Amino acid sequence: HLAGSSEEVAPPVQQCFMVPKKEINVVSDMAKWKRSQAYADYMGFILTLNEGVRGKKLTCEYKVSEPIEKLVALLNTLDRWIDETPPVDQPSRFGNKAFRTWYAKLDQEAEKLVSAVIPKHLADAAPEVAVYLKESVGNSTRIDYGTGHEAAFAAFLCCLCKIGVLRVDDQMAIVFKVFNRYLEVMRKLQKTYRMEPAGSQGVWGLDDFQFLPFIWGSSQLIDHPSLEPRHFVDEKVVNENHKDFMFLECILFITEMKTGPFAEHSNQLWNISAVPSWSKVNQGLIRMYKAECLEKFPVIQHFKFGSLLPIQPVTS
C-alpha cells in the first residue's frame, strides 16, 4: 500500500459517494464495507505503518521527503488559520461557532492545498483526495470531532500512497512527522473551539477523540527495555518520556483536559495498564479498533468511497 512509482498515471476520479442513511441496511452494508477493497486497503495501510514504527522513538532519525515537507506545510496552514479565527463570544460553553468560519476556509481551499502536495501529472486526483482532508477535521454543523474524522485523515494519507505521492520509505515520516503534526492541530482545534466528542462512549471508550496514536504509540513501545504498560499511568514517567512516544503524548493530553482520578475518567486505558506487555496491548488495540470504530455503523456511515478507496469487493 505504500509502494508505487511517482510516474504512475492518476486513476480516473469518480465522485465520492455516501448512500443516504434512510436507504442503508445496516447489517448488509456493514458486511459490504468489511468485504470492500477500501477496507482491505485501509487496514493494510494502518498495519503497515504499525510495523514501520515498531520500537522507534518520535525523536529518532528518519528520511523526510519533499511530499512529507509539503504535507507538514499544509497542516501548518491549518494551524495558522486557527490563530486567524479566534473563538466568538456565545452563551454555550462548547461548540464555538467560529469553527464554522475556520471550516468554511478549508472547504474553499482544500483542493488548492492538496494540489500543492501532489505532482502536476497527478492533478486529476486532487478533488477526490481533498474530500478526505475536509472530512478529517470534524463536522461543521455539529462542531464535533471523533475517530471517524481521524480515519478520514488516515484515508487521505492512504490515497496519497496509492497514487504514488508517498513511498515505502516514507513510513516513519508519515506517522512521526505528518500524523503527529495532524494530532497537534486537532488538539488545538478541540481546545480553541471546545469541540464535542463525536460518538463518544464516555468512560467506556478508549479516548474521546483519537484511536490510531494509541495503536502506533503502543507499537513504538514494544520491547522497550524499561517502560512497561503499567508505567503510563505514572505522571512522572509520562512527563519524562512523552516527547519520544505518541502513546504517552496522548496520555499527557488526556490528563491536561480531564480532572479527577485517571481510573475514573479513562477506565479503559486504566485497564490496559494491567496488560503484561506492549505487544499484547498493540494486538488488543488493533482488535478493539476494528470492533469499536471500523465495524460500528455510527462511525463508518460517513466514510466516503471513490476510485481510490472503492466499495467494490476486494480483488486480492
Task: Assess whether pLDDT exceeds 50 at residue 160.
Answer: yes
Mind listing the pLDDT tens digit for each residue in 209-261?
A: 899 999 999 999 999 999 999 999 999 999 999 999 999 999 999 998 888 88
Q: Is the pLDDT of residue 8 over 70?
A: no
What is the domain partition of the chain in residue ranges? 27-302
Per the CB < 8 A criterion, the answer to whether 221 and 52 are in contact is no
Q: What pLDDT is recorded for position 260?
A: 85
Per-residue pLDDT tens digits for 64-123: 999 999 999 999 999 999 999 999 999 888 899 999 999 999 999 999 999 999 999 999
Q: Was domain 27-302 assigned CATH 1.20.120.1150?
A: yes
Ranking 174-188, 216-230, 285-299 by mean pLDDT, the lowest is 285-299
Quote the mean pLDDT of the chain.
Answer: 88
Q: What is the 3-state secondary structure of the chain?
A: CCCCCCCCCCCCCCCCECCCHHHCCHHHHHHHHHCEHHHHHHHHHHHHHHHHCCCCCCCCCCCCCHHHHHHHHHHHHHHHHHHHCCCCCCCCCCCCCHHHHHHHHHHHHHHHHHHCCCCHHHHHHHHHHHHHHHHCCCECCCCEECHHHHHHHHHHHHHHHHCCCCCHHHHHHHHHHHHHHHHHHHHHHHHHHCCEECCCCHHHCCCCCCCHHHHHHHHHCCCCCCCCHHHHHCHHHHHHHCCCCHHHHHHHHHHHHCCCCHHHHCHHHHHHCCCCCHHHHHHHHHHHHHHHHHCCHHHHCCCCECCCCCCCECCC
> How far is residue 96 CA from its own chain's centroid?
22
Average pLDDT over residues 46-65: 97
Residue 249: phi and psi, rounded to 5, are -65, -40
pLDDT at res. 17: 39
Res. 16 pLDDT band, cuts 50 70 90: very low
Is the pLDDT confidence value at 3 over 80? no
How far, in Å, CA of 244 to CA of 234, rounded? Answer: 16
Q: Is the pLDDT of residue 25 over 70?
A: no
* C-alpha dihedral (8, 14, 16, 22), degrees to nearest 10: -150
The amino acid at residue 316 is S
286 pLDDT above the threshold of 70: yes
Type of residue numbered 48: T
Summarised one tens digit per residue, pLDDT across range 293-303 is: 998 888 888 89
Q: Pull the grid cell for residue 4.
A: 508505487
Q: How far apart are CA 208 and CA 286, in angstroms?
A: 17
- Residue 161: pLDDT above 60? yes
**Picking from 26-35, 73-82, 160-169, 245-254, which range would have the lowest pLDDT averaged per residue?**
26-35
Residue 300: its pLDDT value, please? 83
- Confidence at residue 140, expressed as pLDDT on a 0 to 100 scale: 94
